[in-house]
Amino acid sequence: MTSAGEAGTTVTDFDAHAVRMLPFHQRYMSGNRACRLWAAMARTLDIEWIVPQHGPSFRGKAMVKRFIDWVDGLQCGLDLLTPNHYRVPPARVMSD
């Protein structure tokens, strides 16, 4: 079992699986632009099956399209940073 599901299987319920993929992709994808560029490139290919390194695969044109569309709309990486990530921490009061 991997963090994204059981290896060697295929995704049958995309929506349920997307919930499991989201935390990993938000952390490890560099940013929205990279995802959009990848999705645009992937749409130019005739893909029957996406087999990720970890977790179940996406088999069949409809499931592949769902995955590419999901990546295209993913909010991730540096684009999730806000000013709250870059604040000076409050001063700590030292006690004797």
pLDDT tens per residue across span 40-61? 999 999 999 999 988 999 999 9
Q: Does position 7 have pLDDT exceeding 90, yes or no?
A: no
59 is written with which tokens?
């088999």
59 secondary structure, DSSP code: E
pLDDT of residue 5: 55
Give the span between the Cα atoms of 79 and 85, in whole angstroms.
Answer: 12
> pTM for this structure?
0.79
Nearest to 25 by CA among 55, 63, 59, 64: 55
